[in-house]
Structure 1
């Protein structure tokens, strides 16, 4: 099972340091969140920078809110980044649940699911080299694979889980291991129902903070601020993993559930956490 590192969003200037440490360590993937009405860095721009200073680690959006974006330009941006990083891009996609994000982008939150499906269908056609229309040619560059970057889908509702099977991607699950099995079973069942070979790729995301108390306090404060709109930020903060033993046991639980990769997401800004976490998983 692979272990990825989710990047903190509170200090964008520190992210190159995090990326270099992760690329030289045991991590499989760098992950980055997406929001519009927030102070996080834009993920595709940021991952393009990190692609230039890393050589092997995958670069993953967790999740990119595709309905907020125009699909043709998004297809071009994703294909460009995929080519520049040698096929290391993993495009995690979601619909976005904040009304203010949709207000700022001028999109209707009520149609976000349909917009995402339309975006994926169109992007897949463009990535395959098809013309945009009868009067408009192809949109390059082509990505490293004709089906485009690897896709992951995040979300909790059945429509999100169905996209995994419909588009042949993977499932990005922000869920604790003791409550994850029903979701995983549903995704795998839908996969079989769609006649997909093998198994869907399942990626679990958990929040971690490893270090002295100020590092943990910083992580809790940033988690609380980020998830305040949900109304249950305290519940999410309470799930923060703060000891080597808890992190290892959670990884072991996910391994038993057949998870392919666990993303250890850091909200605390101290980049020494990358080294501390590497020591306990290496």
Structure 2
């Protein structure tokens, strides 16, 4: 089972340090979240910079809120990053649930799932080199992988899980091991329903902080602020894993569930966490 690093968003200038350390270590992936109305770096731009500063590690949106974006431009951006990184882009996609994000983007929160499906149909055509349509030609470049970068979908509702089998390569589960197994089973069921070959790739996300007290306090405060919009940030913060034993237990639990990868998502800004987590795994 592979292990990735989820990057903190509070200090974009420091992410080059995080990326280079992770690239030199045992990690498989750099993950970065997406929001519009928030003080976070834009993920495709940021991951493009990080891909240029690294040599082997994959760069992953976790998750990119596709309905907020113009479809053709998103297809072009993703194909460009995938091509220029040597096929290292993993495009994790979600629909987003924040009304303020959708208001700023001028998109409808109520139809975001339908818009995502329409976007996937268009982007898949473009990534195969087909014309956009209505007398408009193809929109390149052609990505490194025929048909586009690897696609993961996040979400919890049946429509999101079914979307994995309809359009994707795998599933991104931001869920505790105690209930992630049910999500994995549902995704596998939809995969068989659509007669997809092989197995879906299953990727889990675990929120972690590892280090002295000030590192933990920093992570707790930043995570609490990020999830304040949910109305239950204390509940979210309770799930933050802060000891080697707890992190190892989560990795073992997800491996037992059949996960292909676990991304250890960090909220604290101390880049020494990369080295601590590398030693742990």
**TM score, norm. by length of structure 2:** 0.99
Within 5 Å, give how 1:98-117 maps onto structure 2: 98-117=98-117
Aligned residues: 281
Q: Is the 8 A contact 1:33 1:63 kept in 2?
A: yes
Q: C-alpha distance in 2, partners of 1:164/1:132? A: 23
Matched, 1:91 2:99: no
TM-score, length basis structure 1:
0.99
The 2-side partners of 1:164 and 1:172 are apart by: 9
Q: CA deviation at 1:133?
A: 1.3
Partner of 2:139: 139
Query: Match of 1:131, SS?
Result: coil
> 1:51-79, CA deviations, whole angstroms, 9 ceiling, x for partnerless residues?
11000000000000000000000000000
Matched with 1:192 is 192
Indicate the residue corresponding to 1:207 in structure 2.
207
Alpha-carbon RMSD: 0.7
The structural deviation recorded for 1:183 is 1.0
Runs of 4+ in structure 1 deviating by more than 4 angstroms, as ranges, are none
Alignment check: 8 A CA contact 1:168 1:196 kept: no
Are the counterparts in 1 of residues 152 and 168 from structure 2 also a CA contact under 8 Å?
no
Find the counterpart in structure 2 of residue 164 from structure 1: 164
**CA drift at 1:275:** 0.4
1:59 match: 59
Post-superposition CA distance 1:125-163 (Å, at most 9, x none): 001000111411110100011210000000111110001
**Secondary structure in 1 aligned to 2:214?**
helix
The alignment partner of 1:136 has SS state of coil
Distance 2:219 2:168 in 1: 34
Q: Which residue in the other structure is 1:37 paired with?
A: 37
* Equivalent pair of 1:170/1:203 in contact (CA under 8 Å): yes
Alignment partner, residue 129 of structure 1: 129
Deviates more, 1:215-224 or 1:91-100: 215-224
C-alpha distance in 1 between matches for 2:116 and 2:178: 30
Q: Point out where structure 1 has 5 or more consecutive residues left out of the alignment.
A: none
CA drift of 1:41 comes to 0.1
1:71 corresponds to 2:71:
yes
Aligned mates of 1:155, 1:223 — CA distance in 2: 19
Q: What is the rounded CA distance, in whole Å, between the counterparts of 1:16 and 1:106 in structure 2?
A: 32
Q: Which residue in the other structure is 1:120 paired with?
A: 120
Query: Which runs of 5 or more structure 2 residues have no equivalent in the other structure?
Result: none
What does residue 80 of structure 1 align with?
A: 80
Cα distance in structure 2, aligned partners of 1:99 and 1:167? 25
User: How far 1:228 sits from its partner (Å)?
Assistant: 1.0
